[in-house]
Amino acid sequence: MLLDNIENILDSFSDGVIAIDKNFKIVSFSKGAERITGFLAIDVTGKSFNEVFNSELDAHKSPIDGVLENGKSLTNIRTKINNIENKSITISINATPLKNVKGDIIGAIVNFRDIEEIYKLHAELYTENTRLISILNSITDGVLTVDNEWRITSFNPAAEIITGNRVEDVLGKQCHEIMRSKTCKTDCPLRKTMATKMPIYDYEIEIINAQGKIVPISVNTALLIDEQDNIIGGVETFRDLSIFKKLAEELHEKYSYEKIIGKNKKMQKVYSLLETISPINTTVLITGETGTGKELVARAIHHNSPRKHKPFVKIDCSAIPETLIESELFGYMKGAFTDARADKPGKFQLADKGTIFLDEIGNIPLSIQAKLLRVIEEQTFEPLGGIRTIKVDVRMIAATNRDLQKSIAQGTFRQDLYYRINVLPVPLPPLRARSGDIPMLVNHFITVFNEKFGKAISQLSQDAMDILIDYPWPGNVRQLEHAIEHAFIHCSGRTIQTRHLPEDIKQKSSALIDELLTKENPIDEIEKEVILEALKRNHWDREKTAKILKISRITLWRKMKKYSIKQQNTR
């Protein structure tokens, strides 16, 4: 039947469109009708028009009755209906008879719009010209337009402030004469837009203002097109990033210590602890999972201590064979073993007056631990094969990813050594426990890799950032750094997208499904996760999210309420 095949057509209209049969029963209800009235198609289909809307348009006195009987269309008839909140709204309707292939009238199509919306639209159109001018003059972003010969045709007050040039001095001049950027002739974003007809967003460059000062700006570009679709020039909006750069530096100082980055409360406690212990000449034990930044912390302690101008010597105890660890730490004398053809100082001797960092101290063999304890307590040792005691002045910092107390219970680590190195413990939280720090760390790595690879990548897409924030990071900060480096290699634009991330990080969703299937109500949990993911991907725009999920906005709102889903801020 014809009525069964019109829903896709009706949904393409932004106005409300309802199909009724000859008995005033609703047989189809468009998305626009849902928007205007608040009713859902699933709830009203099959009910009478008057029953749903408490309308003046019942079957006995309505002009629509004439449409159904005589086939005469209606145009711009005003009436009132009640919406889902039982509030009366004035609508303008058009009605057209719906006929089958034989020409028989089998219903009607009722097209309607909210009169109040029309009034608002007229008011907005009426004031649009003056509003645009006032907006242009009041926005804090600089705006300039050029013609096809690159002559400046407009220059708003914010552009005057940012560049230091007066509008009367720049109109008619070439754009590059005013902006004076290194990119003007080689990598001009507006020139790219004019050539490719594609807009550019958040392109960071530096200009030289009228006073000769370098000003960092972020640029957006677009085409200017006349009514005949001819390109008549381009428009560039730009924002002064000076305050943002200064703020970023201040935030970096506040939320970092040396090269350690994080605003998480646990990291703030670490910074406070490092300030306290760095000047004190005693042993420190740094604990944390692999990749949490134990070496960075050790270096920060050294660089903020009185020994900062003396050697910092690192030894990875997990990377040295057990047979060589003693000679590496304490050195050896000529003839101590077959290949010992000359004296060789050990790491402790090389670190004299400075700091030695024993990474993964839990890997040191039990046979060497007694000698290590003596060095810590007496600052003396004998090299392998030597008979003379060597005295040193060394501060020791140790680190481990092991549970040393468990190693003590297993007999693989000396209890007295543990107590001696655990004088000032510094526990580092895993990255999954401070996921709020991920955006800061990502921005830091973007800066590092832009310099390393000579690129100008400015950010991650929100989808990519959401994946990084949700990922558990078993390899912690080191793994995140490698992930951003991987993305840099594959990204040729200015924004890192999901496709640029390593496969193992992108595939975490399958593990999530496995976890959800263990829940008490897996269907609800999966639906909740799908809705949450869709909201994130659409930046919490409910209209776009509902469209992606193929449900109405009201249904989306109900499900968000059901699952207690509230907007999250990940930036």
Question: What pLDDT digit, counting tens, does each position of 98-138 carry?
Answer: 777 677 888 888 878 787 766 665 555 445 545 555 554 54
Q: Distance between terminal CA atoms of the chain?
A: 52
Q: For residue 140, what pLDDT is reported?
A: 61
- Of 72, 68, 45, 55, residue with least CA distance to 112: 55
* pLDDT tens-digit map of 256-290: 566 788 888 888 899 889 999 999 999 999 999 99
Q: For residue 263, what pLDDT is reported?
A: 82
Mean pLDDT of 340-348: 85
Q: For residue 244, what pLDDT is reported?
A: 67
Q: For residue 59, what pLDDT is reported?
A: 42
Task: Return the axis-axis angle of helices 294-303 and 265-277, rounded to nearest 10°.
Answer: 40
Indicate whether 61 pLDDT > 80.
Answer: no
Cβ neighbours around 330 below 10 Å, total: 22
- Of 238, 247, 259, residue with least CA distance to 188: 238
Q: For residue 13, what pLDDT is reported?
A: 42
How many whole angstroms separate alpha carbon 556 and alpha carbon 539? 15
The answer to whether 514 and 327 have CB atoms below 8 angstroms apart is no
Indicate whether 312 pLDDT > 90.
Answer: yes
Q: For residue 1, what pLDDT is reported?
A: 37
Mean pLDDT of 327-339: 81
How many whole angstroms separate alpha carbon 1 and alpha carbon 487? 54
Indicate whether 329 pLDDT > 60.
Answer: yes
Q: pLDDT confidence of 571, banded at 50, 70, 90?
A: very low
**Furthest-apart CA pair in the chain: how many Å?**
120
Q: For residue 60, what pLDDT is reported?
A: 46
Q: For residue 119, what pLDDT is reported?
A: 63
* Percent of the residues in the chain that have a pLDDT greater than 70, as a whole number: 85
Q: For residue 12, what pLDDT is reported?
A: 39
Q: For residue 279, what pLDDT is reported?
A: 92
Q: For residue 122, what pLDDT is reported?
A: 54
Indicate whether 569 pLDDT > 70.
Answer: no
Q: For residue 237, what pLDDT is reported?
A: 86
Same fold: 2-122 with 136-240: yes
Q: For residue 249, what pLDDT is reported?
A: 60
In this structure, are strands 105-114 and 142-146 parallel, antiparallel, or unpaired? unpaired
Mean pLDDT of 73-92: 82
Domain residue extents for the chain: 2-122, 136-240, 255-427, 431-506, 510-562
Fold classification of 431-506 (topology level)? Helicase, Ruva Protein; domain 3 (1.10.8)
In this structure, are strands 459-460 and 74-82 parallel, antiparallel, or unpaired? unpaired
Residues 6+ apart with CB under 8 A from 182: 205, 206
- Of 534, 537, 533, 474, residue with least CA distance to 502: 474
Q: For residue 347, what pLDDT is reported?
A: 93
Q: For residue 14, what pLDDT is reported?
A: 58
How many whole angstroms separate alpha carbon 561 and alpha carbon 332? 71
The answer to whether 132 and 216 have CB atoms below 8 angstroms apart is no
Q: For residue 62, what pLDDT is reported?
A: 67
* pLDDT tens-digit map of 412-468: 999 999 999 999 999 999 998 888 889 889 988 998 998 888 888 888 988 888 889
- Of 402, 378, 401, 382, residue with least CA distance to 390: 382
**What are 238's strand-pairing partners?**
142, 219
* pLDDT tens-digit map of 460-515: 988 888 889 888 888 999 999 999 999 999 998 888 999 999 988 887 645 555 66
How far lies 326's CA from each of 18, 60, 320, 408, in Å? 87, 103, 10, 21
Q: pLDDT confidence of 349, banded at 50, 70, 90?
A: very high
Q: State whether the Cα torsion 132-138-141-145 is positive or negative.
A: positive
Out of 113-122, 135-144, 180-189, 325-334, give the one with best mean pLDDT: 325-334
At 519, list the tokens. 């829940």
Fold classification of 510-562 (topology level)? Arc Repressor Mutant, subunit A (1.10.10)
- Of 254, 246, 190, residue with least CA distance to 221: 190
Across 83-118, b (16+ Cβ under 10 Å) vs e yields eeeeeebebbbbbebbeeeeeeebbbbbbbbbeeee
Across 161-198, b (16+ Cβ under 10 Å) vs e yields ebbebeeeebeeeebeebbbbebbeeebbbbebbeeee
Q: For residue 6, what pLDDT is reported?
A: 42
Q: Give 64 or 5, the one with higher predicted confidence.
A: 64
Q: For residue 10, what pLDDT is reported?
A: 40
Phi and psi, residue 327, nearest 5°: -70, -30
How many whole angstroms separate alpha carbon 143 and alpha carbon 235? 7
Fold classification of 2-122 (topology level)? Beta-Lactamase (3.30.450)
Please classify residue 378 by burial: count the beta carbons closer than 10 Å to its beta carbon, then call 0-12 exposed, 13-18 middle and 19+ buried: exposed
* Percent of the residues in the chain that have a pLDDT greater than 90, as a whole number: 28
Q: State whether the Cα torsion 20-26-27-31 is positive or negative.
A: positive
CA dihedral 414, 415, 421, 425 (to 10 degrees): 130
Out of 112-121, 335-344, 350-359, give the one with best mean pLDDT: 350-359
| CATH class of the domain whose range is 136-240 | alpha beta
How many whole angstroms separate alpha carbon 402 and alpha carbon 416? 17
Indicate whether 147 pLDDT > 70.
Answer: yes
Q: Which of 54-63, 141-150, 233-242, 416-425 has the lowest mean pLDDT?
A: 54-63
How far lies 480's CA from each of 10, 62, 152, 174, in Å? 48, 67, 45, 45
Specify the 3-state DSSP secondary structure of 145.
strand
How many whole angstroms separate alpha carbon 364 and alpha carbon 321? 10
The answer to whether 496 and 461 have CB atoms below 8 angstroms apart is yes
Q: Give 516 or 503, the one with higher predicted confidence.
A: 503
Q: For residue 55, what pLDDT is reported?
A: 64
Q: State whether the Cα torsion 257-260-261-264 is positive or negative.
A: negative
Across 210-225, b (16+ Cβ under 10 Å) vs e yields eeeeebebbbbbbbbe
How many whole angstroms separate alpha carbon 464 and alpha carbon 536? 11
Query: What's the CATH architecture for 255-427?
Result: 3-Layer(aba) Sandwich (3.40)
How many whole angstroms separate alpha carbon 302 and alpha carbon 258? 11
Q: Give 176 or 524, the one with higher predicted confidence.
A: 176
Q: Tell me the pLDDT of the chain averaged across its residues.
A: 82
Indicate whether 332 pLDDT > 70.
Answer: yes
Specify the 3-state DSSP secondary structure of 551.
coil
How many whole angstroms separate alpha carbon 73 and alpha carbon 237? 50
